[in-house]
Amino acid sequence: MNQERYIAVIGDGSHAPHAEQTAKKLGQMLADAGFTLVSGGLKGVMSAASEGARERGGHTVGLLPGLDREDANEFIEVPVVTGLGHMRNFLVVANADLVIAVEGGWGTLSELALAKKIGKTVIAIGRWSSIDGVLPADDPAMAVDLAKKCFAEEY
């Protein structure tokens, strides 16, 4: 890639082992491909994806809901406080060039909808992959391949 790209990884903040395993692998693969990972900076999918990215030398940015940088998971390299609670979901997707959802609940769906509303490409692994306008991916490798193709089509 000739330009640094930011990819938001969104998903459940609670402990969901299967989703976390998928997110960790996704984070590793995104770092290997040279992408910077953006997330909500907390636990669950956000932490697992960030851990994977950092293991491979990738960069991580966490947009936190509160006002304390110490709330970030240990794998966030650049914690950014917002004081916005759930409304920070918009900032997560707005600061990414592309969004990848890994399973997730209502918060994930809100981020997905906001991303689509502002014209971002959204790739989903799992739960939200059948929504119109979302590119479905079976696994992290497929998601990263789709992301690369999306960026290649911009030029």
For 51, which DSSP code? H
pLDDT digits (tens, 9 = 90+) for 33-65: 999 999 999 999 999 999 999 999 999 999 999
For 71, which DSSP code? G
Residue 89 has pLDDT above 80, yes or no: yes
Go through the domains of the chain in sequence order and give each one's CATH number.
Answer: 6-153 (3.40.50.450)
Residue 91 has pLDDT above 50, yes or no: yes
Q: Single out the residue of 13, 27, 37 nearest to residue 106, CA to CA.
A: 13
Share of the chain above pLDDT 90, in %: 92
Two tokens, residue 2? 């000739």
Q: What is the pLDDT of residue 3?
A: 65
Are the CB atoms for 126 and 22 separated by under 8 Å? Answer: yes
Residue 2 has pLDDT above 50, yes or no: no
Q: Single out the residue of 31, 32, 1 nearest to residue 151, CA to CA.
A: 1
Name the pTM for this structure. 0.95
Rounded to whole angstroms, how far apart are CA atoms 24 and 47?
A: 8
pLDDT digits (tens, 9 = 90+) for 113-145: 999 999 999 999 999 999 999 999 999 999 999
- The set of residues, in sequence order, having a beta carbon less than 8 Å from that of 123 and lying 6+ positions away, is 98, 99, 100, 101, 134, 135, 136, 137, 143, 146, 147
